Structure 1
Amino acid sequence: MTVELLVVGAGPTGLSIALQAHHHGARVRVVERRPETFRPSSALILHPRTLEVLRPPGVTDALLELANTAPRVDLHLDTHVTATALTDLALPDTAFAHLSLIRQTDVEAVLTRALEGRGVPVGRGTELLAAEDRGKSARAVLRSSHGVETLRCPFVVGCDGPDSVVRNCAGVGWRGRPYAEEVVLANPEANGMPPGAGAQVFAGRQGLLLFLFPLGEQATWRLLATRASAGDTRGSVGQPGAVVPEAELQRLLSDAGTDARIERLAWSARVPLRCGIARRFRRGRLFVAGDAAHNYSPATGQGMNAGIQDAVNLGWKLAFAASGPANGPTSGFDADVLLDSYDGERRAAAYRRLLLTHTSFWAEASTGRLPSWLRAVAAPWAAPVVPALLGRRRLVAEAVRLISQLRVHYRRSALSVEGTPPLRGAPRPGDRLPDAAVSTGGPPEELHGLLARPGVHPLLQRDALPPADALAADRVTVLRLSNSPGRGWVAVRPDGHVGFRCGAADPAGLAGWLSLIGAAPSPPVRP
Structure 2
Amino acid sequence: MTVDVLVVGAGPTGLTLALAAHDHGARVRLVERRPEFFRPSRALILHPRTLEVLRPLGLADAVLERADTAPSAELRLGSRVVEAGLSGFALPETAFPYLALVRQTDVEGVLTRALADRGVRVERGTELVVARDGGHEASAVLRSPRGTEEIGCRFVAGCDGPASTVRACAGIGWQGRPYAVEVVLADLDLADAAGAPGSSGARVFAGRDGLAFLFPLGEQADWRLLATRAAPPGGARNFGQPGPAVPQADLQRLLSDAGTEADIERVAWSARVPLRCGLAHRFRRGRLFLAGDAAHNYSPATGQGMNAGIQDAVNLGWKLGFAAARDGDGAGAGPDDAVLLDSYDAERRAAAQRRLALTHTAFWAEASTGRIPSWLRGVAAPWAAPAVPVLLNRSRLVAEGVRVLSQLRVNYRHSPLSVQGTPRLRGAPRPGDRLPDATVVTTGAPRRLHGLLAGPGVHVLLQRDAERPLPEALPDARVTVLRLANSPGRGLVAVRPDGHVGYQCGATDPAGLAGWLALAGVPVSPHALV
Into which bin does the TM-score normalised by the smaller protein fall?
over 0.9
Cα pair 1:77 1:202 within 8 Å, conserved: yes
Aligned to 1:249: 251
Name the SS of the counterpart of 1:371 in structure 2: helix
Paired letter, 1:517: A
Aligned to 1:136: 136
Relative to structure 1, is the Cα distance of residues 421 and 523 closer, same or farther in structure 2, using a 3 angstrom cutoff? closer
Paired letter, 2:133: D
Matched positions, count: 525
Cα deviations by residue, 1:27-68 (Å, 9 ceiling, x for unpaired): 000000000000000000000000000001101100000001
* Structural mapping, 1:377-392, within 5 Å: 377-392=379-394
Q: CA deviation at 1:325?
A: 8.1
Give distance in 1, aligned partners of 2:384 and 2:302: 21
TM-score (norm 2): 0.96
Name the SS of the counterpart of 1:421 in structure 2: coil
Cα pair 1:487 1:504 within 8 Å, conserved: yes
Give distance in 1, aligned partners of 2:404 and 2:103: 22
Name the SS of the counterpart of 1:54 in structure 2: helix
Aligned to 2:67: 67
* Structural mapping, 1:24-103, within 5 Å: 24-103=24-103
Relative to structure 1, is the Cα distance of residues 430 and 465 closer, same or farther in structure 2, using a 3 angstrom cutoff? same
Q: CA deviation at 1:517?
A: 1.3
Q: CA deviation at 1:466?
A: 3.9
Name the SS of the counterpart of 1:268 in structure 2: strand
Aligned to 1:487: 490
- Within the candidate set 225, 237, 240, 1:238 is matched to 240
Cα pair 1:235 1:242 within 8 Å, conserved: no
Paired letter, 1:200: R
Name the SS of the counterpart of 1:299 in structure 2: coil
Give distance in 2, aligned partners of 1:37 and 1:523: 48
Paired letter, 1:115: L
- Within the candidate set 297, 300, 305, 2:299 is matched to 297
Q: Which moved more, 1:234-243 or 1:493-502?
A: 234-243
Cα pair 1:318 1:339 within 8 Å, conserved: yes
Aligned to 1:318: 320
Aligned to 1:505: 508
Aligned to 1:278: 280
Cα deviations by residue, 1:232-262 (Å, 9 ceiling, x for unpaired): 4456101111111000000011111111000
- Within the candidate set 209, 217, 222, 2:219 is matched to 217
Cα pair 1:75 1:201 within 8 Å, conserved: yes
Paired letter, 1:378: A
Cα pair 1:473 1:522 within 8 Å, conserved: no
Q: CA deviation at 1:522?
A: 10
Give distance in 1, aligned partners of 2:75 and 2:365: 16
Give distance in 1, aligned partners of 2:439 and 2:475: 26
Name the SS of the counterpart of 2:204 in structure 1: strand
**2:232 paired with 1:226:** no
Cα pair 1:158 1:164 within 8 Å, conserved: yes
Q: CA deviation at 1:300?
A: 0.2
Paired letter, 1:42: R
Give distance in 1, aligned partners of 2:339 and 2:73: 45
**2:339 paired with 1:337:** yes
Name the SS of the counterpart of 2:302 in structure 1: helix
Cα pair 2:514 2:525 within 8 Å, conserved: no
Q: CA deviation at 1:326?
A: 9.0
Give distance in 1, aligned partners of 2:27 and 2:464: 38
Give distance in 2, aligned partners of 1:121 and 1:524: 41
Give distance in 1, aligned partners of 2:27 and 2:107: 22
- Within the candidate set 424, 437, 445, 1:435 is matched to 437
Cα deviations by residue, 1:88-111 (Å, 9 ceiling, x for unpaired): 110000000010000101110000
Name the SS of the counterpart of 2:189 in structure 1: strand
- Within the candidate set 458, 461, 473, 1:459 is matched to 461
**Structure 1 stretches of 5 or more lacking a match?**
none
**2:187 paired with 1:187:** yes
Paired letter, 1:103: R
Give distance in 2, aligned partners of 1:268 and 1:510: 55
TM-score (norm 1): 0.97
Give distance in 2, aligned partners of 1:468 and 1:208: 58
Q: Which moved more, 1:245-254 or 1:227-236?
A: 227-236
Aligned to 2:477: 474
Aligned to 2:202: 199
Cα deviations by residue, 1:183-237 (Å, 9 ceiling, x for unpaired): 0111010011254231000012x24211000001110100001111012445610
Paired letter, 2:351: A
Give distance in 2, aligned partners of 1:367 and 1:378: 15
Q: CA deviation at 1:159?
A: 0.3
Relative to structure 1, is the Cα distance of residues 8 and 59 closer, same or farther in structure 2, using a 3 angstrom cutoff? same
Cα RMSD (Å) of the superposition? Answer: 2.0
Q: CA deviation at 1:524?
A: 13
Q: CA deviation at 1:442?
A: 1.2
Name the SS of the counterpart of 2:56 in structure 1: coil
Paired letter, 1:284: G
Give distance in 1, aligned partners of 2:458 and 2:467: 18
Q: Which moved more, 1:226-235 or 1:108-117?
A: 226-235
Name the SS of the counterpart of 2:98 in structure 1: coil
Cα pair 1:330 1:515 within 8 Å, conserved: no
Cα pair 2:2 2:152 within 8 Å, conserved: no
Cα deviations by residue, 1:358-417 (Å, 9 ceiling, x for unpaired): 010111111111111111111111111111111222221111111000000000000000
Identity in percent: 71
Aligned to 2:109: 109
Give distance in 2, aligned partners of 1:110 and 1:288: 23
Cα pair 1:457 1:492 within 8 Å, conserved: yes
